[in-house]
A and B are shown apart, each in its own frame.
Chain A
């Protein structure tokens, strides 16, 4: 799987061949992941692999401590399956979208995919960090970087990712010191001591950065805005979420045993992520940046799910991750389609594309409703499970348990704001006022809309069959069997919703409302734009005028919430301080040497 992908790096320059090879490679990868999904839990040790003629020989870095390399269990099987699916879908999309955008795109694409497989399957933490680091590089290479803004975004991304890798190394080294092993299967630490706490925080940083949760999220909006839509859909929206949350699941359920204060921390970070990012999303003008902030916000829900610690919570987190990956990459592809045909990304400049790009529009509606948590779509299913898990969590006795209503409230609030900002997204791009310049716009080619429609169908299916098929088949083996209290039957709900919607449509038609297409009845408030003609992106300016909000937005614009900017300022300040000492005057330097000698002598003499 991996070898073929990396080998590909070498051959020919002819585009067609490249595309063909990459499709074949990804298909092979998908096939093997399906096969893998069918097999049972096992640890594949290097020796076995060698005997069966595998070439993937990885020796553990520091000899004698555990040489096991690849591990397959429920969690990684699930992730691997989805990696394969998304790899294929987005690659198909790229075939038309990506003409000549990035040099060596397919090579980097395949390396990315290979490294992701590697990271998910490796059991050895060192091997894991190696693959993880390679992913940082490919992330960097998948932005074109030919203009100022995108090269800045690329730089920022790799610095943040690289920094988190470095911190993870610390965590891994501490784990090794404490446990004497690097095999994930063998590590299980209580987070009570200072050292284990440090290790936990270090690894948490890694997973938060990759997934994009609050303090380390700031690369995602930039990346989403300046990279091609295919890269954005591939990395921050799907692969990085899968990996980041995979690792979060590993550390919160396998590697460490959480105590109450840590739950508290995680929960607060989760809700901060949800609310802050969605607030930022509300005021964005660039549609991809808006999606980028939502990509951050959704991570908050997953973090909430995992920090609850119950089986239901874990399952809910995972389920939400899968759903999020489906609709979020779909949304990025939508944005890509729009940009492909119109060349514009600013919501203000777009409008009225629903007629010219019906399939894209349909996809966008499904995704938008899904991310806002409207039944019967998948976003509703998983969010509902998370709420359910929080309510369950409230019956416990610790401090975080007592605050359950806070977590629940903020999560629901975030969900409402998500809906609000997607009304803007849909309204601005597809509905509001007619614009002459888009008269020539047509639907995108089949290779571009097909993945979109497939993803939209995925949203529907995952929503409708949530309780019946998806949960027992996909998630139960990972999180363990749980008995959800007050659970709902998704198929039944779906049928009910469908019926009510149909009834509504009938009522519309009967009462002689004008010709509305069926999709239109899904959205509330859409008429507002048509009647008032108010520019959509200014819709939420009122928000900025609340005093607290005003403060928040002002600080956010000055980038006070961006770890990257903060540390950059601090570093450059230190740097200028240090440079000032280097006057370039020879006698000063001579004095340094003599002074250094004298100080050393004094130290040694005491």
Chain B
């Protein structure tokens, strides 16, 4: 088991450089090579998921063992939560790479694209696997810089502007994070997450501690596009090539944003009720305003991007509710439900939002526009795009029997059982507006034949793109099976346990 862990980072990192070299020699190689690499990653991470179970596996880089129970080496930690993130990253990475095989034909410099994609994945895998703050920061920067370049990949006015904004705001965020990490290191004298927890437990200065928490929350809040820090996302996600948008919205903001927030605030800091309230409030804010921003959009990818903010709001809100209840220590069963709901929604979101961006890409590929007003009546010309996007739309709007329904259901039930009636109401309201805006998308893109015959060259897109869309569509349906308790128990429970029982998990890591 152990040697798998570094391989998950090393393989994509190495192939990024390999592609740069080989891509110059053989023209068609990079795409197929990347897809093959990601397929390997996919199989490996599912293997890890199946075999890891409830356990925690630690890989110590260079074999440095802990001295007096104080870890001194670099730790890479594979536990229930990170393994799920790995699976998400590699699944969506693989499908995006396959999709790119035909989608990226229009662009020049394919080898750069695939190399950057590999870097992106390597960075995300690194963030998810790192057991200490410094490596999280390093891998975060690797993937973020790759994403700056990928957003600008079209090198036209809009792309460059979006990428520039993204770089400036992302730079501010990195600064805040680095500042926070520095302050933590100053007090705790260590960067290992498990060790920091021990250090803080021993005693800390309240104001200082809060200040650090806020810095970290803001920094990663920008990466996760939580509401007041979200401004870069709509531009960046809509300007990137569509498979990259799918990666960015589907896994990137989760892996480098939400995952880290969850990990740090559940496992590293001691949960206080106040901070839990702040996190819940931020989540609710993005959930509600994101959707109001989304419904007014006519650019498909901007609409989807704003929905990413809103859907991430659900995840953060329910995780926040879980934190509130945990810090009160009154209703652990409801906290469990809330966190499960949040994680479940996170996984679902990867599937349906990834799919939606791929659909948008297919439309853009065929029609050369992202404006809903210029489309119409495509259901008969592009049946698979229409069908899969219907599945994804129903899924994100929370209509049974698709997966989004079940995760929202769990979140709402958790809200009500935890007596957060207002939040439950807002969650439903947002879900309704989401439905409305996706029906708008459906209607103007696929029905409503106003522009028929004008400049629609619509026919179904090439096989690799169709393949990716169908797989994701199937996933949207299949993942509703996770709602069945016995399935959920075996697949999601390990991840939830990591968050519910953070103290225990962390001391285990130190003990290894």
Contact = CB atoms under 8 A, between A and B. Distances in A.
Question: Do chains A and B interact in one complex?
Answer: yes
Contacts of A165: 399
Contact of B432 (A151, A152, A159, A605): A159
27 contacts: A61-B483, A62-B485, A129-B400, A130-B400, A133-B399, A134-B401, A145-B448, A148-B450, A155-B439, A158-B439, A162-B397, A162-B432, A173-B412, A173-B415, A177-B417, A572-B296, A578-B289, A578-B293, A582-B231, A584-B235, A590-B169, A593-B169, A596-B221, A596-B228, A597-B214, A597-B215, A605-B210
Interface stretch (B40-48, B110-118, B423-431): B423-431
Contacts of A244: none
Cβ-closest 9 pairs across A and B = A596-B228, A575-B296, A589-B231, A133-B400, A145-B447, A151-B447, A63-B485, A151-B448, A173-B416
Nearest to B413: A173
B428 A167 contact: yes
Interface string A407-431: 0000000000000000000000000
A170 B416 contact: yes
Interface band, chain A: 35 or more
B232 interface: yes
Contacts of B253: none
Contacts of B214: 597, 600-601, 604
A336 B217 CA distance: 61
A247 to B, nearest CB: 16
A604 B276 CA distance: 11
Contacts of B471: none
Interface of B: 164-165, 168-169, 172-173, 176, 207, 210-211, 213-215, 217-218, 221-222, 228-229, 231-232, 234-235, 274-275, 278, 289, 292-293, 295-296, 337, 377, 379-380, 394, 397-401, 405-406, 408-410, 412-413, 415-417, 421, 424-425, 428-429, 431-433, 435-436, 439-440, 442-443, 447-450, 483-486
Contact of A134 (B221, B400, B432): B400
Contacts of A173: 412-413, 415-417, 424
A561 interface: no
Interface string A310-324: 000000000000000
A518 interface: no
A60 B483 CA distance: 9
B443 A154 contact: yes
B484 A601 contact: no
B398 A166 contact: yes
Contacts of B439: 154-155, 158-159
- Secondary structure dominating the interface of B: helix
Nearest to A168: B428
A59 B486 contact: yes
Nearest to B432: A163
B172 A590 contact: yes
A584 B229 CA distance: 14
B292 A575 contact: yes
A104 to B, nearest CB: 10
Interface in A150-187: 150-152, 154-155, 158-159, 162-163, 165-167, 169-170, 173-174, 176-177
A586 B295 contact: no
Contact of B292 (A103, A147, A150, A574): A574
Contacts of B218: 593, 596-597, 600
A166 B431 contact: yes
Interface of A: 59-63, 103, 126, 129-134, 136-137, 145-148, 150-152, 154-155, 158-159, 162-163, 165-167, 169-170, 173-174, 176-177, 198, 568, 571-572, 574-576, 578-579, 582, 584, 586, 588-590, 592-593, 595-597, 599-601, 603-605
A593 B214 CA distance: 12
Contacts of A170: 412, 416, 424-425, 428
A572 B295 contact: yes
Given A177-B417, A586-B169, 4 more contacts: A131-B400, A151-B448, A162-B399, A605-B210
A391 B172 CA distance: 74
B176 A146 contact: no
Query: Quick one: which of B169, B214, B425, B433 has the most chain A CB within 10 A?
Result: B214
A586 B165 contact: yes
Nearest to A158: B439
A315 B134 CA distance: 72
B199 to A, nearest CB: 21
Given A163-B435, A166-B432, A133 B211 contact: no
B176 A597 contact: yes
Nearest to A583: B231
A172 to B, nearest CB: 8
Contacts, number: 172
Nearest to B415: A173
A603 B296 CA distance: 32
A575 B295 contact: yes
A59 B296 contact: no
Given A152-B448, A163-B435, A173-B412, A146 B377 contact: yes
Nearest to B450: A148
A584 B161 CA distance: 10
Contacts of B400: 129-134
B485 A59 contact: yes
B295 A147 contact: no
Contacts of A603: 278
Query: Quick one: which of B275, B379, B443 has the most chain A CB within 10 A?
Result: B443
Query: Quick one: which of A165, A173, A605 has the most chain B CB within 10 A?
Result: A173
Contacts of A597: 176, 214-215, 218
A133 B401 contact: yes
Contacts of A148: 448-450
A571 B295 contact: yes
Query: Quick one: which of B234, B275, B429 has the most chain A CB within 10 A?
Result: B429
B228 A151 contact: no
Contacts of B486: 59
Contacts of B416: 170, 173-174, 176-177
A425 to B, nearest CB: 30
A158 B232 contact: no
A604 B275 contact: yes
A606 B169 CA distance: 28
Nearest to B281: A603
Contacts of B235: 584
Given A163-B432, A173-B412, A590-B172, A578 B232 contact: no
B293 A582 contact: yes
A363 B154 CA distance: 65
B296 A169 contact: no
A598 B165 CA distance: 21
Contacts of A150: 447
Contact of A604 (B210, B292, B377, B397): B210
A605 B215 CA distance: 14
Contacts of B405: 130, 133
Contacts of A176: 413, 416-417
Query: Quick one: which of A103, A165, A584, A599 has the most chain B CB within 10 A?
Result: A165
B219 to A, nearest CB: 9
Contacts of B172: 590, 593
A593 B229 contact: yes
Contacts of A595: 228
Contacts of B169: 586, 589-590, 593
Nearest to A574: B292
B428 A59 contact: no
Contacts of A145: 379, 443, 447-448
Given A162-B399, A590-B169, A61 B406 contact: yes
B448 A147 contact: yes
A593 B412 contact: no
Contacts of A162: 397, 399, 432, 435
Nearest to A59: B484
Contacts of B421: 198
Given A155-B442, A158-B435, A166-B432, A590 B168 contact: yes
Contacts of A576: 296
Contacts of A174: 416
